[in-house]
């Protein structure tokens, strides 16, 4: 498990996974490795996480005795037909599968928990001569659409990122944005009525969180400070909005930064206009890979995240 695919650990760096209990506001370390970098935890059930690492998909069975596991505890999920994935993967709410974003730009459906033959959902060749890539961040609660960022490189060399809902049956995207503003981290709320994402449309050069109703209306800004905010994740019960926050001036969502996991009331997503200061839950060394995809437990009482400290 120390291949050369995907992102690798720096000298002296450790890849760690934690679970955070919302009621007690405490974290518990459950995994640490100095040989394999894992990223972007999904919660399959109350005892099992899904992570990516070294281009593969892995299951991690959570310990119940305080043990900190290492890479020998990971179980690889076979993905027949998928060569290498990135860290954008989302569990199907219906159960039984996970949709992954592959390095070839396509989305694939992979059976869970046992893995096996995958099904390609998208067709990036359909956009040629424009070069297209799909980055999955959410799935509608009824499974009817996939919330994805569509990256496109035009013939004149311009790279754009837009929010789209992808039909899982045909792979066709329906664009919710189609402009020059950098967008990322899109997801569908548990009630199926709103899409959340981070965007630079409000403050060029600074990503902030936004929401748009699928029944109409303009995007509404959720965060409005000088920090750089990424990857909004509404808890399944709709009560809490978790997100990743970088220091002012950071461009994109790089790895190996001092970042914060912050919490806001979920009512802001539903349109509440209340004055509230975000609560910082955790300050950590991370960024890319920490919470790129939905990390909440099904009962909304805890979530998982990754950090990447360097010794010394």
Integer distance in angstroms from the first to the last C-alpha of the chain? 25
How many whole angstroms separate alpha carbon 145 and alpha carbon 140? 5
Cβ-count burial 254-273 (b if 16+ within 10 Å, e if not): ebebebbbbbbbbebbeeee
DSSP string, 105-135: S-EEEEESSS-EE-EE---GGGGTTSEEEEE
CATH number (2.40.50.100, 3.40.640.10, 3.40.1440.10, 2.120.10.30) of 15-307 reads 2.120.10.30
pLDDT tens-digit readout, 219-235 = 999 999 999 999 999 99
**Stretch 177-187: mean pLDDT:** 95
What's the mean pLDDT when you consider all of the chain? Answer: 95
pTM of the model: 0.95
> Which pair of structure tokens corresponds to residue 207?
């990503």
pLDDT score, position 4: 55
pLDDT the model gives residue 72: 97
| pLDDT value at residue 263 | 98
Chain segment 199-212, per-residue pLDDT in tens: 999 999 999 999 99
d(CA 163, CA 241): 19
User: Of how many residues is the chain composed?
Assistant: 312
CA 287, CA 267: separation in Å to the nearest integer?
Answer: 26
Integer Cα distance of 78 and 58 in angstroms: 9
- Cα distances from 251 to residues 200, 201, 203, in angstroms, run 11, 14, 12
Task: Give per-residue pLDDT as tens, 135-172.
Answer: 999 999 999 999 999 999 988 899 999 999 999 999 99
What is the pLDDT, as a whole number, of residue 197? Answer: 98
Query: Are the CB atoms for 4 and 302 separated by under 8 Å?
Result: no
pLDDT score at 194: 97
pLDDT band at 1 (very low <50, low <70, confident <90, very high): very low
List of residues 6+ apart from 203 with CB closer than 8 A: none
Residue 91 pLDDT class (50, 70, 90 cuts): very high
Query: Closest Cα to residue 7, out of 98, 84, 91?
Result: 84
The 3-class SS string of 9-24 reads: CCCCECEEEEEEECCC
pLDDT at 3: 45
């Amino acid at each position: 498990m120390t291949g050369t695919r995907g992102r690798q650990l720096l000298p002296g760096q450790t890849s760690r996974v934690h679970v955070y209990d919302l009621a007690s506001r405490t974290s518990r370390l459950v995994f640490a490795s100095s040989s394999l970098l894992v990223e972007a935890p999904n919660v399959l059930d109350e005892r099992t996480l899904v992570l990516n690492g070294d281009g593969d998909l892995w299951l991690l069975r959570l310990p119940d005795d305080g043990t900190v596991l290492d890479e020998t505890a990971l179980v690889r999920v076979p993905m027949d037909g998928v060569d290498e994935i990135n860290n954008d993967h989302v569990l199907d709410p219906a159960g039984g599968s996970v949709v992954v974003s592959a390095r070839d730009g396509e989305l694939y459906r992979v059976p869970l928990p046992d893995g096996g033959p995958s099904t390609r959902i998208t067709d990036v060749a359909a956009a040629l001569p424009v070069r297209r890539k799909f980055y999955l961040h959410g799935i509608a609660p009824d499974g009817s659409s996939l919330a994805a960022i569509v990256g496109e490189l035009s013939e004149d060399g311009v790279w754009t990122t837009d929010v789209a809902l992808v039909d899982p049956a045909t792979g066709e995207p329906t664009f919710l944005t189609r402009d020059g503003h950098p967008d990322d981290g899109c997801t569908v709320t548990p009630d199926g009525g709103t899409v959340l994402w981070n965007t630079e449309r409000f403050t060029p050069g600074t990503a902030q969180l936004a929401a748009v109703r699928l029944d109409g209306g303009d995007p509404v800004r959720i965060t409005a400070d000088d920090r750089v905010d990424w990857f909004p994740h509404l808890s399944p019960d709709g009560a809490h909005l978790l997100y990743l926050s970088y220091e002012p001036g950071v461009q994109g969502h790089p790895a190996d930064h001092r970042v914060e996991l912050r919490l806001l009331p979920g009512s802001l997503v539903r349109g509440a206009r209340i004055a509230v200061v975000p609560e910082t839950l955790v300050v950590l060394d991370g960024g890319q890979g920490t919470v790129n995809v939905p990390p909440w437990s099904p009962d909304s009482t805890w979530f998982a995240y990754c950090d990447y400290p360097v010794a010394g």
